Structure 1
Amino acid sequence: MRVKDILDLEEKLSFEFFWNEVSETEEGYGLIVDNTRDNNVASIASVGFGLSAIPIGIENGWISRDEGYIRALKTLETFLNNVEHSHGFFIHFVRMKDGKRTWQSEVSVIDTALFLMGALVAGEYFGGEVYELFESIYSRVEFPWYLDKERNQYYMGYNYERGFWGHWDGYAEQLIMYVLGVASPTFPIDSSVYYSFERKKGKYKDYELIYTYTGSLFTYQFSHAWLDFRNIVDKEGVSWFENSTLATLANWEFCKDMHSVYKTLHEKSWGLTACDSPDGYRGDFGAPPSANNNSTHKTDGTVPPCGAIGSIVFTTAIVEEAVRYYFEKVPQLWGKYGFKDAYNMDRNWVSQIYIGIDKGIEILMIENYKTQLIWDITMRNKYIKDGLQKLGFEERKQ
């Protein structure tokens, strides 16, 4: 099978995950499972990716426009009226049946942002009542509430039991939080918050980049699924697209170098990022350079297909080689919704689950690679244009 056909099939089956693994209860309609191991718990980030997937499904002919419209409309009604929130920020994990908090979950700034990007895509695509619902939800988010005013940084998290903790004090997947924050029509933050996080540089082999704490590839991918950074830089001249390309290449080189330690890692099996593992979900898998990996590596040899596929817009050729390898050489990785979450040949293990945010980064990045659809929808939105302008982004001078 041609790589193009494998990618097309992976995209379609990833869409089916979001279309099928959904709540249809009256109070929880449109909520999407965090993962297929536990169909009682939804992730609001999973819903953000799922809403973004609706235009992809329509444009590819997998669902009708009416079907997509109804799903988007009713999902946003659920979030406006039923899903638990505080100061407009949603709970990260909620019950599928009614949108109420589960697992003493946090009120999450990053997962709210991921949801809002999906709501924005659906609103921009359909217009009308769907857009009005997006604006109603967006307008009630009190972005300054989540700021540590003394440090001029977003807190990392908040829950009812412990209050605020930590800070978004370095680069990671959070760029969308600043764009949405400064563009808010009701509760905006100052653009200086974006310039307050530290941009630490590190190097692995020939690749020097602004690194993230874990070095997990998702931290270099998530904001890029919606925001097209290819030809823009900020006031400091940073090209985040180029930075993610370098991070992907460093991850690839590291996995090649680690083949002597883990047989799962090699030139065609790479992409260390947060995923399921033989020991449960791991959020710290990553490659240098990073705060977590400069002295020791953080991997047990587990490879998730989403790690490479989420970087297809950055390093197309090596991603296509990985996709072909997974499909042809690791057939046990393939299942109902395409590639399962991860595998580890050193432990003779293959994940039996699908995770929403991992299928999500795949479908959005594959479509951006093919047609730029999600980029085009997002970048024409007035709030996105306004937010990027306020943050000082401008076209890169050739």
Structure 2
Amino acid sequence: MFKFFTGIALSSAVLLSCGSAATADTASVTQKLTDEQLMDKVQRETLKFFWDFAEPNSLMGRERYHEDFYPKNDANVVTTGGSGFGLMTIIVGVERGFIPRKEAVKRLTHIADFLAKADRHHGAWPHWLDGETGKTVSFGKKDNGGDIVETAFLVEGIITVREYFKNGNAEEKALAKKMDDLWQGVEWNWYTKGGEKVLYWHWSPVNGWEMNHKLQGYDETLVTYILAASSPTYPIDAETFYQGWTRNGTYSTDREKYGLPLYVKHNGAEEYGGPLFWSQYSYLGLDPTGLSDRLVKNYFDLNRNHALIQYNYSLENPKNFKGYGSNYWGFTASYTRNPDGTVGYRAHNPKEDNGVITPTAALSSFPYTPKESMNVLRFLYEEKPHFIGSAGPYDATSVHFDDWFTPRYLAIDQGTIAPMIENYRTGLIWKLFMNAPEIKAGLKKLDFKSTKYEF
């Protein structure tokens, strides 16, 4: 039975009990599930991270949740980008009847009110916020101000919520208005550092531009430029996109792997492409189907090939890790197994392969590789039920290391699973985001074309 504990932080004891029950139930039930039922199951379970286990004051997504322990000094740290994915996950939950629409509106309104009062730095939220106070929590020594990329991931969710509820009842329209006000308050053009033709990731009221990190392709940050160009209040121009993001048009490549074109130069990972979150974070809302610009002829092909290259790498398995194959593949940033057996963090990809498979990598690739992703989903639930916990598949697993797993979750990993599976099933989140009037105008300004949408 799927039970929600609205606004309540559960104890580790309760969570472990839920996890054990879920594992026992999984072994006996999932053998009988159809593909549709299995997708329902994982969408419903990953929703729990953002509904049952939300930070109790802000009701936003925690940065992480550990079933084995939860550090007291981390318990109220919420993530802005991961919460954006959580907003889209909640919409999926409403649409599929997992949670009552009225309760979702109440929850989302509370989140909007929290964000309106929380710290912002020229309209951008920081990477982390204190869920009790709304104050900035430093992500790093100099990363204690606005984070325009995490803000973009949050705004993907904000716009999706607005579009979903904007024609609803009075309470829903009020929620949509709150979300619209939040989106319009982001000063995207400030993050060009005085008008340079490129966006910068960070600005701090203490350290200014010292982080000095330009957003240049190709990686996960494309949607930041799309939103910045689409802003009705603080927009950037098309030249900033083509000079900054595409590196003056030099980020294209003719390189292939396993006979699959990469199309663009993945930053620091040109042979195989980067971790799979690069084909997911921007594309929860941005529909790559039939989407093109001056340099990329089909964004869907780019993302599909990225996933298939990793799939083929797992079939080749050049390092001979046990378990790799057609039903166990996918590399992305997540928790990892350190050489001494402890838990660490790693941006897994074929060039950074240490025998750890991250379930969200394949599961959030459903739109691109439905058959190959379903193989992984079924394998996890039917053959490795111990890899499943209280909020769906655990963050990191390894068949090679004696079925090692860490009973922990990260918002940015759990948060992509339900929306991307829904985009495969119905296109819901894509339709909401792509049909927003400002997004259409911004894509047209950047000379994007689509075979699905009119700009």
Cα deviation per residue 1:132-152 (whole Å; 9 max; x = unaligned)? 212222222111211156762
Instruction: Check whether the contact 1:264–1:302 (CA below 8 A) recurs between aligned residues.
Output: no
* 1:56 aligned to which of 88, 92, 102: 92
Amino acid at match of 1:89: A
Match of 1:235 in 2: 294
| TM-aligned CA deviation for residue 283 of structure 1 | 4.3
| TM-aligned CA deviation for residue 178 of structure 1 | 1.4
| TM-aligned CA deviation for residue 103 of structure 1 | 3.5
* 1:195 aligned to which of 227, 242, 267: 242
Whether 2:53 is the aligned partner of 1:21: answer yes
Q: State the secondary structure of the residue aligned to 2:400.
A: helix
Moved >4 Å (runs of 4+): 148-151
Distance change in 2, residues 1:286/1:104 (3 Å): closer
Q: State the secondary structure of the residue aligned to 1:277.
A: strand
Match of 2:136 in 1: 101
Amino acid at match of 1:175: L
Q: State the secondary structure of the residue aligned to 2:347.
A: coil
Cα deviation per residue 1:267-287 (whole Å; 9 max; x = unaligned)? 221111101112345342113
Amino acid at match of 2:134: G
Structure (1 or 2) with the larger CA radius of gyration: 2
Aligned residues: 384
Match of 2:275 in 1: 216
Which has the higher mean CA deviation after the structures are superposed, 164-173 or 106-115? Answer: 164-173
Match of 1:77 in 2: 113
Amino acid at match of 1:120: I
Q: State the secondary structure of the residue aligned to 2:345.
A: coil
Cα deviation per residue 1:344-382 (whole Å; 9 max; x = unaligned)? 233332011111111111010111111111111112211
Unaligned runs of 5+ in 2: 1-30, 67-73, 167-172
Which has the higher mean CA deviation after the structures are superposed, 160-169 or 347-356? Answer: 160-169
The 5-angstrom pairing of residues 382-393 of structure 1 reads: 382-393=437-448
Whether 2:203 is the aligned partner of 1:167: answer no
Whether 2:142 is the aligned partner of 1:113: answer no
Instruction: Check whether the contact 1:211–1:247 (CA below 8 A) recurs between aligned residues.
Output: no
Instruction: Check whether the contact 1:272–1:304 (CA below 8 A) recurs between aligned residues.
Output: yes
Match of 2:312 in 1: 253
Cα deviation per residue 1:211-238 (whole Å; 9 max; x = unaligned)? 4225100011111111112022113353
How far apart, in 1, do the equivalents of 2:78 and 2:152 lie? 16
* 1:33 aligned to which of 62, 73, 77: 62
Match of 1:4 in 2: 36
Distance change in 2, residues 1:259/1:10 (3 Å): farther
Instruction: Check whether the contact 2:225–2:241 (CA below 8 A) recurs between aligned residues.
Output: yes
How far apart, in 2, do the equivalents of 1:367 and 1:205 lie? 29
How far apart, in 1, do the equivalents of 2:50 and 2:99 lie? 12
Which has the higher mean CA deviation after the structures are superposed, 263-272 or 378-387? Answer: 263-272
Whether 2:436 is the aligned partner of 1:373: answer no
Instruction: Check whether the contact 1:3–1:323 (CA below 8 A) recurs between aligned residues.
Output: no
Amino acid at match of 2:185: R
RMSD: 1.9
The TM-score with structure 1 as length reference comes to: 0.91
Instruction: Check whether the contact 1:170–1:200 (CA below 8 A) recurs between aligned residues.
Output: no
Q: State the secondary structure of the residue aligned to 2:322.
A: coil
Percent sequence identity over aligned pairs: 26
Instruction: Check whether the contact 2:127–2:139 (CA below 8 A) recurs between aligned residues.
Output: no
Instruction: Check whether the contact 1:31–1:99 (CA below 8 A) recurs between aligned residues.
Output: no
Cα deviation per residue 1:42-101 (whole Å; 9 max; x = unaligned)? 1111210111122211111122221111111111111111x2220011110122222212
How far apart, in 1, do the equivalents of 2:136 and 2:47 lie? 26
How far apart, in 2, do the equivalents of 1:3 and 1:277 lie? 29
Distance change in 2, residues 1:94/1:255 (3 Å): same
Match of 2:18 in 1: none
Unaligned runs of 5+ in 1: 288-296
Amino acid at match of 1:205: Y
Cα deviation per residue 1:263-311 (whole Å; 9 max; x = unaligned)? 1432221111101112345342113xxxxxxxxx211111011000111
Q: State the secondary structure of the residue aligned to 1:85.
A: coil
Match of 2:13 in 1: none
Amino acid at match of 2:436: N
* 1:320 aligned to which of 351, 374, 384: 374
The TM-score with structure 2 as length reference comes to: 0.80
Which has the higher mean CA deviation after the structures are superposed, 129-138 or 298-307? Answer: 129-138
